[in-house]
Structure 1
Amino acid sequence: MPHGWQLLDRPAEFDAVRSALTGADSYGAVLVGDAGVGKTTLARMVTESVRSEVHWVASTKSSRSIPLGVFAHLVGSSTSRDATALLACARESLVAQGNSIVGVDDAHLLDELSATLLHQLAVDQSGRILATVRSGEPVPDAVTSLWKDGYLRRIELQPFTKAQSIRLVESVIGGRLEGLSADLMWQSSGGNPLFLRHLVEGSIDAGTLRRTGDVWQLRGPTAVPSGLVALLETRLDTAGDEVMTALKLLALCEPLDSDALTELVGDAAVDEAEMRGLIRFTEDGPTLNARFSHPLVGDVVRTKIGRAAERRLKGQVVQILRRRELSTAASRIRMANLSIDSDQSVDIDLLTAAAKDAIFLSNLPLGERLARSAFERTGSLASGALLSRALLWQGMPADADAILAQFTPDELDEVQLVQWGVPRLSTLFWSMGEVAKAHEVLALVRERVRIPILELILRATAAAMAVHENRISEGIDEALAVLADPQAPEQAVEFAAFAAGLAMPVAGRGDEFEPIAARCRADQKHTDGMIRVMVRYCDVLALTHMGDFETAAERALRYADFSSVGQFLAWAIAKIMAGVVATARGDFPEVVSSIEQALAALSAESPLPWQLPGRLLLARAYAALGRVGEAERVLTDAAEHSGPSMALHEPQRLISRSWYAAAKGMERNAVELARAAADNARRSGQFALEAEALHHATRFGDRSTADRLAELAELVHGTVVPLFARHAAAVAAGDAAALDAVSADFERAGLMLSAADAAAQAAPLHDAAGDRRRTTESGAAALRLAEACGGASTPAIKTAARPLPLTPREREIAELVSAGLSNREVAEALTLSVRTVEGHVYRACFKLDVADRDELARLIRRKS
């Protein structure tokens, strides 16, 4: 454990309790809350903050059987057995201690005489009282009267909010908690600080909560350590056999409808479990379902179920559920999961259907479990293809391919060929980089398939491959042809939508993808959950390229709603969606947070293709924030994703490299790389990316982009490229006023760092014109906007922040000198001669009135 557990402030509750203890018209409080919610911790913190003497007593089950049990020390050696005399003696002892506070922990466990003493003190106002009471426990009437009759203030202590829980865990583990894991841990703990602590410590010890990079993630079930088991077992010890049977059944199949649970254990056991606060009922549509009152109760109950009992109990539930209609994915998955480990026979058709359901829901480990069970029982191609897909999406392409390699294509009919060929070529193409072999598989299948709807599936698959090979126009045409065919089956529609959705936004036709995205959102019959998630990514990508950042952000948030760590890949792609929008807006801290978490979730045995777009966004964000070393590392990591199947992303790779060069002060190199990205994008038909790349070049000082951007403003759909064109024209003309105007429009559009750069580029032009006021205004605007981007720094912003009388080349070389490079290293980096570098260094020193390159380096660092 990197750090110890720290107390988390509860300022509102702290102030309320302290006010109740110290106010003129108040004589104390009763803190009420669940076990482990922090009542005692808060009570002790408050009493330590006041000057009064505090007398703490703690009630226990054993002290409850002794009259005046926790206050027995106040009566000394008295031999009286008269209750009135004992009370008087104890009361006199407490009153004699002056203006003190009586603190009672677990006041619900007080014996009747002690409760009466506490009540007398409150009625007589002869002392201040701070007591804690556990929710859901029987409380002596005298204690209940303390707040019901208005003597003391009752304060409910609620569990931590999600934000508080995350803050507490992150303060302990010394790192960032993955968002999906944070959601699940908060749900499992119910925000209870003690439960949360046990969860974290137990999961770390069990190895299910582990660190990947700078992100902690939960993979596997939460582990329940012995300390928490002991805490919760106190509520189970007296439950009785019938109630425990009900709890065990529920633990194996939660939620369970009330009729089924009642049929299995009887009304009395179900009622008793509810009355004891161990289970609760929720209305899920027309069904009344039983659930545990707290998730961890189920975890503890599961520790009490042996293997043989588990098979028998699951068998009982299976027999009941067989009489139910399995009309939903959840019901099929639950039935299949129960059947596998029960003493009942397994329905293979149900098992296969449930595996499809799990994969549709993007729960890949569960899909693998169900598909593997079906495949082991049947060896069928249908179950093998499902298993292969589940393995592929989890980053195990060799295992996925090995499953399908067991089948001989010559022995398959047309339907089976497609069922075998599409996942096989997908594995080869996207995850193994064996592009030629993937095309061979596609050609083999297309040669033998003649059924029209199967041909459409193959055409859609070919379209997705074409797009990734950067054959943009061809991929779009093929995808649209499939989508226009009324006979296209679901799988063809999904693959075609994915192909069109990746290509149309970068081609500058993002608005044309909206009806396709709407069609996919409306269709709930997808065959592959991961393709559905990828189409959603395309939806966000299209909206971002169109400049509709608000809708893009809203959909990215909506698409990120997952409830199981088994959905980690879908969750990671959703985080990349958020990174796409945040990058466009210039919200680089959000980019870093989202993408770092996504990459941690995407860590697998083999590099997952989705790591590439994430890494390219992250490298650009690091560069914009001046974190050059981290940008270099991420770009190096991104190099493992290369080859024809990744050609689609080459313009983005070059753009990220240009930002890295700019962050290092190599502005000419940054321009060259941005222009190379634009050229690559233009050749392949990625016109929106061409425009973006030219915009970056303009921001890095290129004054030759205006004509082409004006052409692209007519070609690319949306509101963004016309702004790029106006900016480029203003830079080319050296028009400071136009730059200020386009900066304001960039800001209104949500392109915050573009706005900062435009303002920064206006500042030196105003300065050259002798307009000091506007110089200051533009420079201040640039810095304000850069701060809104997380303190981002670009060449233009640096110049505006510290204008120096240097040429761009002199400033570029001075930056590299300040980074510690020798003249020879600078020459190699910029492809110049050493003598040329020495000349620039000499002139820079002369202009800045410094003696040598060491003083030059120190001056540049101070200005930075």
Structure 2
Amino acid sequence: MGGSWRLLERPVEYDTVHSALTTSAAGGIVLVGAAGVGKTTLARTVTADLDAPVRWAACTESSRAIPLGAFAPWIRDPASRDPLALLSSARENLIAGARPVVGVDDAHLLDQLSATLLHQIAVEGSARIVATVRAGEPLPGAVLSLWKDGYLERYELAPLAERQCVELVEAVLSGPLEGLSADVMWERSAGNPLYLRNMVEAALATGGLSRVDGIWQLRGPAAVPSGLAELLHERLARAEQPVRDVLTMLALHEPFDLELLVDLEGEEAVDAAELAGLITIGPDTGGEAARFTHPLLGEVVRSRLGRVSARRRRGRIVAALRDHPLDTAAERIRMAQLCVDSDQPVDTGLLIAAAKDAVALSDLPLGEKLARAARDRGGGLPAAELLSRALLWQGHPRAAYAELAGFDPAQLDEFELLIWGLPVASLRFWAYGDAAGCRAVLTLMTDRVEHPALRLAVDAIQAMVAVHENRIDDGITLAEHVLAQPNSPRQAVDFAAFAAGLAMPPAGRGLDFAPIAVRCRATRKPTDGIIRAMIRYGEVLALISVGNLDAAERRACESGQFATSGQFAGWAIEKISVGAVAVCRGRLRDAVRALEQALAALAAESALPWQLPAQLLLARAYATLGDVASAEQILVAADRHSGSHTAVHEPHRLLARAWVAAADHNCYTAVEFARAAADLAHRSGQYGFEAEALHHAARFGDRTVAARLDALRTRVQGPLAGLYARHAAAVAEPGTRGLAAVSLELEHAGLLPAAADAAAQAVPRHDHAGQRRLSAEATARALRLAARCDGATTPALVAVARPLPITAREREITALIARGLTNREIAERLVVSTRTVEGHIYRACGKLDATDREHLAALVWPHDPPELG
């Protein structure tokens, strides 16, 4: 841990307490809240800042047994047995001086005489009072009357908000916390600072909280540390046995249907548990249900329950629920979990159904657990297939393949062959990059599977394979065929929609994907949560491709309701969608945060293929920010994902390299990479991405792509191709009006980095024409837009920031000189002759009156020279 636990600033609460002790008409304040919520810390922080003397009394269970035990330090003659004398002595010393402040910690533990003294001081106003009271505890009447009769203010101290929890934990860990882990921590701690601290320290000690690629992430169950367990157990110990029985049942099955809980444990016990503040009763599906008042109470109860007793109690719950309908995924999952660990017989069919539900909800560890239980109880191929899928999506391909390797496809009927073949083909292709092995499995299924509906599932996975191999037309044709059939199985529809979502946007058919996305959202029972997350990603890409960035952002930010760390893969894909929109809008820091968190979440024993889109977007974001080293490092990591199974992303890889070259001040190389990306996209049918890549070339200064972009306007759906073509035409034309107009259009479309580039590209033309006022206005606009993009440093913006009368090639050469390269090394790098390099240096020295090449480099790059790429 880099930092230490500190008081989190709570300005509203601080001001409330401070006002009550200084300027308020009331005589002070009583802070009420749960144990560990920060009452004492807040009170002592405020009183430490006061000018008045402060006298603190801390109450305990032992002090409560002694008359005036809390105020014993202020009694001059403690041997006296006269209560009035003791009371008078304590009062006299407590209020001595100019209206002091009396602080009482845990005032609910005051003995009667101490409570009377505190009440007397409040009534006469001889001192200001600040007291803390634990919520839900019985209070002496004199303490209760402090605020009921208006002598003191009462303030209920609320738990921390999620943002505050994240701020506190990140300060302690000295690093960013994964968003999904932050959600889980906040939910589990309920915003209680003490619980949060104990949870974090315990997770660090057990390895459940670790740093991956610079991001702290929580995985697996978080143990309840002994200190916190004792604190909670102290509260539980005061409950009667019937109440503890209620809590034990609830710990095994939360939320618990209220009527069923009453049947099992009795009405009086349930009422007593509620009145003690240990459980709450609230609405739930189909009626009312009981829940713990704090999530960690259940964990403490479970930690003190033996295995035999737990199995027996779960058995009672299972028997009581045996005839209840299991209509929802949550009901099936909860029942399956109960059965697995109970003393009742287990229905393997229920385990398989629940495992399917867990995988559909993207909770992969839970799906693995239930599928493994089903396999161990004779679940056969259906259980093995689910287990294999859960393992694959968690990045464990070898274990996933091992679950299916023992089945002989020759012994399987066509339905079983499909269940076996789909994951085996997927493993061969995406996990191992074995295209030939994948094709062999697909051929086997094509030859033997004859049922029309089952054949559609084979067609759907063939569509996925074709798209990833960058056979865009083949993939879209197969996907549309599957989607057009009324009898297509749900899994086939999901696979086909995934293929279409990955292919249609870069193909320039983003509008065509809209009804497919609507159809998939309307399906209430997805077969695979990760596939569904990828379909949503495809919808975001489609909306971006047609220029509807507002809708894309709304869709990307619609939470998938991820509530456990086991849903990390689906959560990560959601973050990639958020990052894709942020890159287009120029919110580069937001993009970096989202994409780095996604990559950290996807870290596994095997490099997961869906890391690649995140890496390529992240490299572009870093490059646009001018961080060449980080961008290059990301591209090196992305090289692990190469082969036919990732060919669809190759144009994107080339464009990322273009941006790294641009950030490295190699504009000619950047243009070449962007053109190469466009050419590859064209050959594979990615006409939408071809248009995007050509537009990037125009942003780098390429004046040759306007006609090619104009020809794409009829092949690419949406307005962006036309907008790109107008920008490229303005770059090719000698005037400035076109660039000014297209900059406004790009800004209106939300493409702020491109808008900044268009404005910047007009500046040297104004300068050439002697239009100083227009040049200044264009410069100001470009830099203003760049600031909105977190300080983007594109080639056009760099030229505006350093308005020197040299060409782009001369600027590129001076950047290489600043790194220490010789003329020969520069020539080799730029693939030109040494004499050509010397000619550029000679002309640039003449323009800037530089004495030599080193002087020239210092003039062009007066600050830190660019890093070596």
Shorter-chain TM-score: which interval? over 0.9
Tell me the amino acid that sits aligned with residue 601 of structure 2: A
The residue aligned with 2:417 is: 417
Change (3 A) 1:843 1:223: farther
The residue aligned with 1:22 is: 22
CA apart distance, 1:714 = 2.4
The residue aligned with 1:537 is: 537
The residue aligned with 1:638 is: 638
CA distance in 2, matches of 1:707, 1:343: 75
The residue aligned with 1:680 is: 680
Change (3 A) 1:759 1:75: same
Tell me the amino acid that sits aligned with residue 530 of structure 2: M
Tell me the amino acid that sits aligned with residue 403 of structure 1: E
CA apart distance, 1:455 = 1.0
> CA RMSD, aligned part only?
1.5
TM-score, structure 1 normalization: 0.98
The residue aligned with 1:328 is: 328
The residue aligned with 1:351 is: 351
Which stretches of structure 1, 4 residues or longer, exceed 6 Å deviation after superposition? Answer: none
The residue aligned with 1:265 is: 265
Q: Does 1:60 align with 2:60?
A: yes
Secondary structure of the equivalent of 1:481? helix
CA apart distance, 1:655 = 0.5
Moved more, 351-360 or 309-318: 309-318
The residue aligned with 2:141 is: 141
CA apart distance, 1:326 = 1.1
CA distance in 1, matches of 2:393, 2:522: 24
The residue aligned with 1:99 is: 99
CA distance in 1, matches of 2:321, 2:536: 35
Tell me the amino acid that sits aligned with residue 542 of structure 1: A
Q: In 1, are the aligned partners of 2:409 and 2:417 still within 8 Å (CA)?
A: yes
CA apart distance, 1:98 = 2.5
- The 5 A counterparts of 1:442-521 are 442-521=442-521
Secondary structure of the equivalent of 2:182? helix
Q: Does 1:833 align with 2:794?
A: no
Change (3 A) 1:858 1:117: farther
CA distance in 1, matches of 2:488, 2:308: 49
Tell me the amino acid that sits aligned with residue 543 of structure 1: L
**Residues 779-832 of structure 1, C-alpha deviations (whole Å, 9 max, x = no match):** 111111111111111000011111111111100111222344443443332223
CA distance in 2, matches of 1:553, 1:360: 24
Q: Does 1:305 align with 2:341?
A: no
The residue aligned with 1:647 is: 647
CA apart distance, 1:321 = 1.6
Q: In 2, are the aligned partners of 1:181 and 1:218 still within 8 Å (CA)?
A: yes
CA apart distance, 1:86 = 2.6
Secondary structure of the equivalent of 2:61? coil
CA distance in 1, matches of 2:103, 2:834: 79
Moved more, 232-241 or 611-620: 232-241
CA distance in 2, matches of 1:51, 1:4: 28
Which sections of structure 2, spanning at least 5 residues, go unmatched?
865-869
The residue aligned with 2:172 is: 172
CA apart distance, 1:126 = 1.1
Q: In 2, are the aligned partners of 1:664 and 1:816 still within 8 Å (CA)?
A: no
Tell me the amino acid that sits aligned with residue 101 of structure 1: V
CA apart distance, 1:852 = 3.4
CA distance in 2, matches of 1:575, 1:819: 37
CA distance in 1, matches of 2:824, 2:135: 73
CA apart distance, 1:38 = 0.9
The residue aligned with 1:810 is: 810
CA apart distance, 1:491 = 1.6
Q: In 2, are the aligned partners of 1:802 and 1:863 still within 8 Å (CA)?
A: no
Q: In 2, are the aligned partners of 1:814 and 1:844 still within 8 Å (CA)?
A: no
CA distance in 1, matches of 2:664, 2:88: 81
The residue aligned with 1:548 is: 548
Tell me the amino acid that sits aligned with residue 709 of structure 2: L
- The 5 A counterparts of 1:242-391 are 242-378=242-378, 380-391=380-391
CA distance in 2, matches of 1:168, 1:860: 44
Change (3 A) 1:179 1:775: same
Secondary structure of the equivalent of 2:288? strand
Secondary structure of the equivalent of 1:792? coil
CA apart distance, 1:599 = 0.4
Secondary structure of the equivalent of 1:715? coil
Tell me the amino acid that sits aligned with residue 631 of structure 1: A
- The 5 A counterparts of 1:576-595 are 576-595=576-595
**Residues 586-612 of structure 1, C-alpha deviations (whole Å, 9 max, x = no match):** 111111011100001111111111000
CA distance in 2, matches of 1:695, 1:182: 39
Which sections of structure 1, spanning at least 5 residues, go unmatched?
none
The residue aligned with 2:89 is: 89
Q: In 2, are the aligned partners of 1:381 and 1:420 still within 8 Å (CA)?
A: yes
CA apart distance, 1:350 = 0.8
CA distance in 1, matches of 2:347, 2:135: 45
- The 5 A counterparts of 1:815-826 are 815-826=815-826
Q: In 1, are the aligned partners of 2:108 and 2:134 still within 8 Å (CA)?
A: yes
Q: In 1, are the aligned partners of 2:537 and 2:573 still within 8 Å (CA)?
A: yes
Secondary structure of the equivalent of 2:104? strand
CA distance in 2, matches of 1:833, 1:20: 80
CA apart distance, 1:555 = 1.2
CA distance in 2, matches of 1:319, 1:824: 83
Secondary structure of the equivalent of 2:114? helix
CA distance in 1, matches of 2:278, 2:625: 51
Q: Does 1:427 align with 2:440?
A: no
CA distance in 1, matches of 2:795, 2:300: 58
Tell me the amino acid that sits aligned with residue 561 of structure 2: D
The residue aligned with 1:721 is: 721
CA distance in 2, matches of 1:837, 1:784: 35
CA apart distance, 1:40 = 1.1
Q: In 2, are the aligned partners of 1:706 and 1:729 still within 8 Å (CA)?
A: yes
CA apart distance, 1:351 = 0.9
Tell me the amino acid that sits aligned with residue 99 of structure 1: R
TM-score, structure 2 normalization: 0.97
The residue aligned with 1:195 is: 195
CA apart distance, 1:145 = 1.8
Moved more, 311-320 or 207-216: 311-320
CA apart distance, 1:502 = 1.1
CA distance in 2, matches of 1:52, 1:380: 76
CA apart distance, 1:27 = 2.8
Moved more, 145-154 or 349-358: 145-154
CA distance in 1, matches of 2:297, 2:824: 68
Tell me the amino acid that sits aligned with residue 270 of structure 1: V
CA distance in 2, matches of 1:228, 1:513: 52
CA apart distance, 1:81 = 3.2
The residue aligned with 1:607 is: 607
Count, aligned residues: 864
CA distance in 1, matches of 2:299, 2:823: 65
Secondary structure of the equivalent of 1:370? helix
Change (3 A) 1:205 1:78: closer
Q: In 1, are the aligned partners of 2:658 and 2:674 still within 8 Å (CA)?
A: yes
Tell me the amino acid that sits aligned with residue 655 of structure 2: I
**Residues 268-324 of structure 1, C-alpha deviations (whole Å, 9 max, x = no match):** 221121111111122113221111110011111111012222222221211112121
Tell me the amino acid that sits aligned with residue 816 of structure 2: L
Secondary structure of the equivalent of 1:159? coil
Secondary structure of the equivalent of 2:713? helix
The residue aligned with 1:736 is: 736
Q: In 2, are the aligned partners of 1:282 and 1:289 still within 8 Å (CA)?
A: yes
Q: Does 1:235 align with 2:235?
A: yes
CA distance in 1, matches of 2:671, 2:93: 84
Moved more, 22-31 or 590-599: 22-31
Moved more, 278-287 or 497-506: 278-287
Tell me the amino acid that sits aligned with residue 589 of structure 1: R
Tell me the amino acid that sits aligned with residue 136 of structure 1: G
**Residues 506-564 of structure 1, C-alpha deviations (whole Å, 9 max, x = no match):** 11110111111111110113222222121111111111111111111111111432111
Moved more, 692-701 or 261-270: 261-270
Moved more, 254-263 or 225-234: 254-263
Moved more, 140-149 or 29-38: 140-149
Change (3 A) 1:777 1:373: same
CA distance in 1, matches of 2:552, 2:346: 44
CA distance in 1, matches of 2:559, 2:6: 34
Secondary structure of the equivalent of 1:9? coil
The residue aligned with 2:667 is: 667
